[in-house]
Structure 1
């Protein structure tokens, strides 16, 4: 805060002087607490209070004590939506057109949220609020997530006083990549000890709030709680899954019918709403084999357990606020960041890293894994038939600008501020409207300056006018949408959508920006057709033209241009990197692990790993360098006093080479050489084979063949660590001893990668987009 002018008197001595203290900043009298809960990849038709088939009693009680909105919209993607929620500006205005990993060098696309677009956390902390962020962030440029920073786009750099969660788009629920404030932190316990990330986040939320309330009970808080559920991996203890055994055997087609019936009964959708048309990418349930139906039902059971488990953790936070006597005076805003996700593909996946490496799913193997889905062994995701059902009654899903991708749950509860209970509101609301609504509820004006930065205008509209006036005319009447070239525009009850052709494989021409012509718009009259089931473009060509032109006008206002529908090419765009490319990377023990985007790239190329160590009397053991996770990677380590190298092929097979001789005591240099001996076979999901040689002080002590390596990526949640395996043990050989830290001394570990790098750009694009 700026220094305040001294209003006392300073004399020659204390007796001649009058002290004066700067005024403490306090929030407005009776300003409420604010709890914003952001779910991940939860569709419009998945919560119980929206007609879903999953029990969500705690979210339901929020709805019973407040409001549900059936016309709330997001951007159809996570990071862009979250930037809207926190700033009140559109995602392109925030330079967050997509996730930061697909940023480009244009103002609406570069992934750096301008400080001129202050976050609600920055606004409230300057007005006397405690501010906390917990869980998923995914708003830091990809090149800035390592210990090298910069940290100005980390939560503590954007107005949050405390943070505990993960910076990326997803993480393993049992062994997460945790960040506490501005540093990495190991999970407080293990999966075997019952650890689960969502439970941890809920407990930390309670602790953060309690820490301040016990000292200053009148100081309100703004808490941004983002558990990361129900994004893949769908992981939850078995007892939460058992409840749903057999509950989804009817299949996704029948599930859609049941959900719509419940939605109409609840008044969440208007009477007479039709189901959107058959999705051409989804097979009819009755055409699947019995084994497929059995597997896919189980995958949905796991998701259901995951969602109800998340609801239970939300319940813990709500119960705590009730115990404190704070719940009635807390504005709770619960949303999902986009529609349900189709990233599991048509068959679902038990380990998405196989998909990203072109390793085909095997039905028999997946059936064998069924009983362990949801546990720490698998990184599973359901098939996209359940995605479609989860977005009932709408078309399509996440990443697309149909209502299936962009229409999401919004529950608002504030017992002391909203008289209505259990009602549904139909006014159009967008993610950019949340921040101005919070400001109005707290009695705080949007500031002209935040942290020394003059502020841009807030682009959203408060929807507080609708709290106690169900029939109030909507005040947000125009809103554009754009996501990876797909477009839509809402205006005064009409919605026009410009999709890609269904079922058509995109050619290079399709993916180029020049192919994004204005033909192909669909038109929906939402006053009569809530679910976008009936395209009336041919009946109203003048309205199509009006809305298409309006889209271009809005695009020009909000940095949407240049319109960019590229896929692989967009990934290949040059962007800032955390360090200059080099032939040798040097790592040291004891520090933070290196995120995947900043780690050395060794796949499919000749390379060496050299560790300068001191082995104490009696020998040593432990990891020298590990890169990856149980889903794939490699590790150079010592066990039984012998140097070992293991290559984990996408969690399917581990290939190991062991030194013939024990490790000598004293100072020495140990080395692993990897020489490629064949070509990459991407179609078969096989990386380059190679010969591994092991050395002690230049003398060869072992050799072996690695017939198959990871071809593309060590995994979404992977990273590199020196002196221990810090994340999710690469090898089963030492998993029970994780992190299996080296018991000798390591001076440094150097990785030489002077061999030419192999990059498969299309597969890399698929990998990073799954982190949405």
Structure 2
């Protein structure tokens, strides 16, 4: 009886908001290549007071999944369907985007930042767009040279089309000497909030930050805040994070031991190497810090407009931290003496050792299907809809659930037809029950992943996962949430059963495309 009453109250809350004509505004914030424990409210030492405030007054998810890669996560978010290496870019042809559904529901739709998909946002549901079509850029000038003609290091994948001031441009060479991508993304979002402030319709604002994806570049004043912070090295910083995570209730040490992956011993590095490594992480931290500062700017604008109370804010990352070391194309760029760590004339990444730390306590990294590749911090904040705050949802969830959540909140049905053919169903579930402490609905489509170096399927407490051509591994996530005790040899029948479940998942992902 008690459970029935709670369910009724949760449904009543949702219905009451909708009946009052108060569809919530939606603010989606996705960061790029950020580790599970990078932000303060998940155990990190990086200063993120605005995200910490959202968490303290909202809801955190401990097992929220992405697709382990930038573009596939963005496709899954906008389509509401899983994406594999076979189905990449194909989901947009078989159903509407989140933007298109939001327009149908009467929302003003706005997007700033990284698209990284073959569709153009303004052609698929977004009224306004500022940002890049590709996956990365120089944070100070997304071109091969500055406005005054100074050559810049670059990656061949970074020179892409941008939309700026409602016009497509390539290359994009900012004229403002103070330009920085993270700030510019926020500037456009706030400008639109001001422009449409008087509208009666709600808004969907999607801020897709490129930070802290490589090249690791940050404003000097932000880097200075972390001077010396990482001099103690990988092991010390990771252990400090792990202890904070326990204290914050992010993890239970009994079920989430620190993954035993091997890291270089800090003392084995020369003094010069230690300084270079510490500097990398200082810049990474500065980039995350700057994102948090910009989130604070958006929160201030929403508060000034009186819209913060009825805005659902969702914050997450597209994948785990990246392990690679990146160097510029030396044939196209010669050092010029201006290469200050984290500046416009550098092109680097945090590397594998710090990626392990960023993903604490999880194993592996971006492009894998182990937890370090696919698990993201996720915060939900909505004063009008989340009444009991500063708590955790411990159930597995996935970013495909965001589309279903929007449909639930907007009282909109997913269309049966799209472009003259049957629409492929979305594959997520609504997260709305978690806002009122209810269990999430059962899943018709299991949570799975297939990209680059890894595959996995999650069925209740069980997870089947593999890395490259290694054998399948089996984990009981209820007792081993960080994948440290492989049960595959002990339970071959369970492995066989879940391999069939995975095959069915793959088949469903490909059907109808």
| Structures share fold, TM-score greater than 0.5 | yes
Secondary structure at 1:424 match in 2: strand
Aligned partners of 1:373 and 1:33: how far apart in 2? 39
1:634-658 Cα offsets, whole Å, 9 max, x none, are: xxxxxxxxxxxxxxxxxxxxxxxxx
Higher relative contact order (CA 8 A, sep 6+): 2
Structure 1 vs Structure 2 CA RMSD:
2.6
Alignment partner, residue 242 of structure 1: 224
CA distance 1:187–1:411, shift in 2 (3 Å) = farther
Alignment partner, residue 14 of structure 2: none
Alignment partner, residue 255 of structure 1: 237
User: Are 2:32 and 1:54 equivalent residues in the alignment?
Assistant: no
CA distance 1:369–1:522, shift in 2 (3 Å) = farther
In the TM superposition, residue 320 of structure 1 has moved relative to its aligned partner by 0.4
1:108-156 Cα offsets, whole Å, 9 max, x none, are: 24x344332211110110221100110000011xxxxxxxxxxxx2011
In the TM superposition, residue 34 of structure 1 has moved relative to its aligned partner by 0.4
1:519-555 Cα offsets, whole Å, 9 max, x none, are: 7111111100111122122222221221122111211
1:133 is aligned, of 111, 123, 126, to 111
Please say if residues 28 and 443 of structure 1, whose CA atoms lie closer than 8 Å, have aligned partners that are also in contact: no
User: Are 2:119 and 1:156 equivalent residues in the alignment?
Assistant: no
Secondary structure at 1:199 match in 2: helix
Aligned partners of 1:383 and 1:205: how far apart in 2? 31
1:586-630 Cα offsets, whole Å, 9 max, x none, are: xxxxxxxxxxxxxxxxxxxxxxxxxxxxxxxxxxxxxxxxxxxxx
Higher strand share: 1
Secondary structure at 1:554 match in 2: helix
Secondary structure at 1:286 match in 2: helix
Secondary structure at 2:205 match in 1: strand
1:206-262 Cα offsets, whole Å, 9 max, x none, are: 111221123x2x210011111211111111111101111111111112222111111
Alignment partner, residue 296 of structure 1: 277
Structure 1 stretch 42-51 or stretch 434-443: which is displaced more?
A: 434-443
Aligned partners of 2:491 and 2:90: how far apart in 1? 40
Q: Summarize the alignment of residues 29-178 of structure 1 with structure 2, pairs less than 5 Å apart.
A: 29-92=21-84, 97=85, 108-109=87-88, 111-140=89-118, 153-176=119-142, 178=162
In the TM superposition, residue 452 of structure 1 has moved relative to its aligned partner by 5.8
Q: Summarize the alignment of residues 441-480 of structure 1 with structure 2, pairs less than 5 Å apart.
A: 441-449=409-417, 454-469=422-437, 472=439, 475-476=442-443, 478-480=446-448
In the TM superposition, residue 353 of structure 1 has moved relative to its aligned partner by 3.1
Aligned partners of 1:41 and 1:27: how far apart in 2? 39
Alignment partner, residue 12 of structure 2: none
Aligned partners of 2:441 and 2:415: how far apart in 1? 25
Structure 1 stretch 435-444 or stretch 63-72: which is displaced more?
A: 435-444
Aligned partners of 1:88 and 1:382: how far apart in 2? 31
1:550-572 Cα offsets, whole Å, 9 max, x none, are: 111211121299xxxxxxxxxxx
Structure 1-normalised TM-score?
0.59
Alignment partner, residue 259 of structure 2: 276
Structure 2: state its 5+ residue gaps.
Answer: 1-17, 143-159
Structure 2-normalised TM-score?
0.87
Of the two, which has the highest radius of gyration? 1
1:724-750 Cα offsets, whole Å, 9 max, x none, are: xxxxxxxxxxxxxxxxxxxxxxxxxxx
In the TM superposition, residue 474 of structure 1 has moved relative to its aligned partner by 6.0
Please say if residues 122 and 450 of structure 1, whose CA atoms lie closer than 8 Å, have aligned partners that are also in contact: no
User: Are 2:499 and 1:548 equivalent residues in the alignment?
Assistant: yes
Please say if residues 238 and 357 of structure 2, whose CA atoms lie closer than 8 Å, have aligned partners that are also in contact: yes
Alignment partner, residue 210 of structure 1: 194
Alignment partner, residue 230 of structure 1: 212
Alignment partner, residue 150 of structure 2: none
Aligned partners of 1:74 and 1:343: how far apart in 2? 19
Aligned partners of 2:211 and 2:289: how far apart in 1? 10
Please say if residues 66 and 73 of structure 2, whose CA atoms lie closer than 8 Å, have aligned partners that are also in contact: yes
Aligned partners of 2:328 and 2:204: how far apart in 1? 35
Structure 1 stretch 451-460 or stretch 161-170: which is displaced more?
A: 451-460
Please say if residues 27 and 129 of structure 1, whose CA atoms lie closer than 8 Å, have aligned partners that are also in contact: no
Aligned partners of 1:478 and 1:267: how far apart in 2? 27
Please say if residues 266 and 274 of structure 2, whose CA atoms lie closer than 8 Å, have aligned partners that are also in contact: yes
Aligned partners of 2:269 and 2:332: how far apart in 1? 23
Secondary structure at 1:316 match in 2: helix
Please say if residues 336 and 408 of structure 1, whose CA atoms lie closer than 8 Å, have aligned partners that are also in contact: yes
User: Are 2:149 and 1:183 equivalent residues in the alignment?
Assistant: no
